[in-house]
């Protein structure tokens, strides 16, 4: 019998959520995603320190933001030598509420990739799913820069991304689960919120059903998993980005991973969600979980970007 990972590949494109090259080589994902936290974790390991050292040495006079982007692209290029598909590279989270600056930073990242001979079709620019970030993605997509909208926790965010014609969205499963578990406190019963009953799984399922019902081409990539049960419950989703630890667990477990999400199985009445800035901000504000997790996620990525700045500056001396 094949492994659950091999079975999952029959229904879903498997993506590695890591900056660890060796893990990618072993687990053979199609695509890979990175973020500031993953890159920060990687450059503190001896195996990946040379990438930081070389970037700082080769571009010693460059400002820190440029060095950070060059480091991200260095990781991305190395990843693309391993995976056959695409790599996601994230715009500095400190720009999450600045549309123009996000556009300029994304253009800079794409320019660095193209200067190194990497076609833009193999790169997804990751941007936080704020209103400003989504509008930046709208402009970038019109220029042929493909975007991955991250830190997405609600259907209104997903609808705004679809309206902007973004290439891909990354709804976060585990962080939604975390919020609801913390909010429930002692009343939380794990067995009652497993599999298809997991609130994070339910959120991605609603987005999937909405997109397929209305023929939306934007790809859906479930992200931020806490356990294998969440992954198996979303088998059939367009893509799933998974940590090396959970990929290894799936690879080492024999069994099936039947499709739980199927476009041809979406039935029933699904109402269209209002789009536009006022509707977006109102609906996001009404969703305490989505508002909390979006803000928290941006703060966490900013904190790690600042730490990465410090490592770059220390290396430059």
Taking alpha carbons only, the member of 74, 75, 73 closest to residue 105 is 73
Torsion of the alpha carbons at 24, 27, 32 and 35, rounded to the nearest 10 = -70
Active-site annotation holder among 25, 54, 126, 182: 126
CA–CA separation, 275 and 265 (whole Å): 26
Tokens matching residue 195: 């599999």
| Cβ atoms of residues 125 and 148 within 8 Å | yes
Count, residues in the chain: 317
Q: What is the Cα Rg of the chain in Å?
A: 19
Let me know if 307 is a catalytic residue. Answer: no
Give the angle subtended at the CA of 143 by the CAs of 29 and 126, to the nearest 5°: 40
Residues that are catalytic: 126
């Amino acid at each position: 019998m094949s492994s659950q990972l091999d079975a999952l590949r029959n229904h879903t494109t498997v993506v590695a959520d890591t900056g660890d090259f060796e893990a990618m080589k072993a687990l053979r994902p199609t695509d890979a995603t990175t973020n500031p936290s993953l890159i920060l974790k990687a450059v503190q390991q001896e195996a990946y320190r040379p990438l930081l050292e070389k970037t700082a040495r080769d571009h010693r006079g460059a400002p820190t933001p440029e060095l950070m982007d060059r480091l991200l692209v260095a990781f991305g290029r190395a990843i693309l030598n391993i995976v056959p598909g695409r790599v996601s590279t994230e715009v500095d989270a400190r720009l999450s509420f600045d549309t123009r600056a996000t556009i300029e930073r994304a253009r800079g990242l794409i320019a660095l990739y193209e200067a190194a001979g990497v076609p833009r079709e193999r790169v997804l620019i990751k941007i936080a799913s704020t209103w400003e970030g989504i509008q930046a993605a709208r402009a970038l997509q019109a220029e042929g820069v493909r975007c991955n909208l991250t830190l997405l926790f609600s259907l209104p965010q997903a609808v705004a991304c679809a309206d902007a014609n973004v290439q891909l969205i990354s709804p976060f499963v585990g962080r939604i689960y975390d919020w609801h578990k913390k909010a429930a406190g002692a009343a939380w019963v794990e067995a009652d919120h497993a599999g298809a009953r997991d609130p994070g799984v339910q959120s991605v399922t609603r987005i999937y059903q909405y997109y397929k019902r209305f023929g939306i081409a934007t790809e859906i990539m479930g992200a931020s998993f806490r356990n294998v049960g969440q992954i198996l419950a979303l088998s059939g989703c367009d893509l799933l980005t998974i940590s090396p630890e959970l990929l290894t667990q799936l690879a080492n477990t024999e069994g099936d991973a039947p499709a739980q999400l199927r476009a041809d199985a979406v039935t029933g009445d699904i109402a269209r969600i209002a789009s536009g800035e006022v509707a977006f901000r109102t609906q996001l504000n009404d969703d305490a979980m989505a508002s909390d997790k979006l803000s928290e996620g941006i703060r966490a990525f900013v904190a790690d970007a600042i730490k990465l700045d410090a490592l770059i500056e220390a290396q430059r001396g």
